[in-house]
Chain A
Amino acid sequence: MKLELSVNGRVHHAEVSPWRRLLDVLREDLALTGTKEGCGEGECGACTVLLDGEPVNSCLVTASQCQGRELLTVEGLAAERDGQELLHAVQRQLVACGGAQCGICTPGIAVCAKYVVDRGALAGVSDDAARAQVRELLAGNICRCTGYQLIVEAVVAAAREVAPDAPTAPTGGGPR
């Protein structure tokens, strides 16, 4: 089928089987290889993208299901200003805090963390509570390199940067 996909604010066209996974269409047809495949089972989260603003495993969505919906991949996290790339706070903090090692899980973690941080899910709570929330909310993203500690610190630091005092929006998943 002919597909019109809106990815990172740009419309792409592709001719695909309706059974093909979004992950494959992103990587192979649209050459957006930042989204990674770690398992194909929805376990590792390396393929996380935002679909209509919510984090999903792109290995568990068909591209056909995404027609007419908004997709955001890791390639769309950074903004551009005056021709300069402006990293999202979670990207900046992942680099600064040492939250990326081999980097293969990093795109999925950055996308999921962006969702958590931009919703203000960590605002107005103590650092201890914020770290615990990050551990719950990012549990669908497996990293084998870091032991998670420096990622947790990076996401909390990014949240403080983005929304120091914003009210908490419900995200689900986190401890109450």
Chain B
Amino acid sequence: MTEYLRPRTLAEALAARAAHPDWLPIAGGTDVLVSAPHRPAPKGLLDLWRLPELGGITEEGGGLRVGAGVTWLEVQRDARVRARASILVDAAREIGALQIQARGTVGGNLATSSPVGDSLPVLLALEAELELASTRGVRRLPYPQFCTGYRKTALAPDELITAIVLPPLAPGAHLRWRKVGTRRAQSISKVMGAAAIYVDAGVVRRATVAFGAVADRPVRLAAVEAAVAGLPCADASAAARAAVASSISPITDVRSQRDYRLLVAENLVARFFAGLDASA
């Protein structure tokens, strides 16, 4: 019989996590309960849904701290996220549909860290840090150090994800996001990407570009970022496109094909950097 605990405080949750590292932490359940009758029952459930310390969106050091228990619907409704991290709202609106957005959480998408996790390229592009807590203390990790492989993370068996921290946006930022899924809504991504492009005086000073569904994990496109740094805006799109192929390694599966994913990733990257002059 599966055990069940609904802790009332984070401290209680961390203690239970430390005591029962083999229990399944669950918040919205939208990943871990898919086809549940065909999954082996876990030893226990550590129910984090609506745990107060995991909720809430607060300002922190000019940036935003988003609790791991915040749902995608709450992300969409938050005016500060809309103003400062619009692409996180854009991604939130394309995660599943209403029922999934009402239940799925920021922390859940991170914990699963599927290559098709829709928020993950956005968090990469925004250079978000994860806040991880255990009875041993709190640490912060940037996402590239958190996700270590196909659905693999650096989360220790006694740790919980408590928040993401979005640093303040540097001036001149242009945010970009596009998901290309299997259909218009309630879809799994075939390719999706996000970018934060920092422009000053008609020149791309710096850019962070991240894609999902094109590698074993969500990835930053370092070659693209290097290719555009310092380029006049008018030249950035072509340079960015040319650097995509060396940065990603998409596969063919039941949802799409390698060549298509590569081509669309190139198109999206080129589009992200197109018209920066006009929209500056």
Residues of A within 8 A of B (CB): 1, 17-19, 21, 40-43, 45, 48, 51, 54-57, 59-62, 64-65, 67, 112, 115, 136-142, 170-173
For residue A68, which residue of chain B has the nearest CB? B6
User: Given A17-B2, A62-B26, A65-B49, A55–B42 Cβ distance below 8 Å?
Assistant: no
Query: B4–A21 contact, CB under 8 A?
Result: no
Task: Give the residue of B3, B98, B184 whose beta carbon is less than 8 angstroms from that of A140.
Answer: B98
Asked if A40 and B26 sit within 8 Å, CB to CB, the answer is no
Which of chain B's residues 74-118 have a Cβ closer than 8 Å to chain A?
A: 76-77, 92-93, 96-103
Chain A at the B interface: SS class: loop
Q: List 18 A–B pairs whose Cβ atoms lie within 8 Å, in order of A's numbering.
A: A18-B4, A42-B33, A42-B34, A42-B99, A43-B186, A48-B99, A54-B103, A55-B98, A55-B99, A60-B28, A60-B33, A62-B26, A65-B26, A138-B97, A138-B98, A140-B185, A172-B101, A173-B97
Q: How far is the CA of A3 from the CA of B160 in the complex (A)?
A: 26
Are B102 and A54 within 8 A (Cβ)? Answer: yes
Interface residues of B (CB under 8 A from A): 1-4, 6, 26, 28-30, 33-37, 41-42, 44-45, 47, 49, 72-73, 76-77, 92-93, 96-103, 184-186
Contact (A140, B96) CB under 8 Å given A18-B4, A19-B2, A173-B76: yes
Centre residue among A42, A64, A112 by max chain B CB count within 10 A: A42
B residues in contact with A42, CB < 8 Å: 30, 33-34, 96, 99-100
Q: Are B2 and A139 in contact (CB under 8 A)?
A: no
In Å, the complex CA distance between A42 and B30 comes to 7
Which residues of chain B are near A45, meaning CB under 8 Å? 97, 99
- Contacts A137-B98, A139-B186; A40 near B45 (Cβ below 8 A): no
Question: Given B1, B29, B93, B101, which contacts A61 in the complex, CB threshold below 8 Å?
Answer: B29
Partner of A112, one of B45, B49, B77, B99: B99
- A57 and B103: CB pair below 8 A? yes
Asked if B185 contacts A136 (CB within 8 A), the reply is yes
- Whether the pair A62, B93 counts as a contact (CB closer than 8 A) is no
Closest chain A residue to B39, Cβ basis: A19
- What 10 pairs between A and B have smallest CB-CB spacing? A140-B97, A139-B185, A18-B4, A172-B76, A54-B102, A19-B2, A139-B97, A19-B41, A140-B99, A60-B33
Given known A18-B45, A139-B184, A139-B186, contact A60–B98 (CB-CB < 8 A): no
Q: Are B35 and A40 in contact (CB under 8 A)?
A: yes
B245 to chain A, nearest CB (A): 33
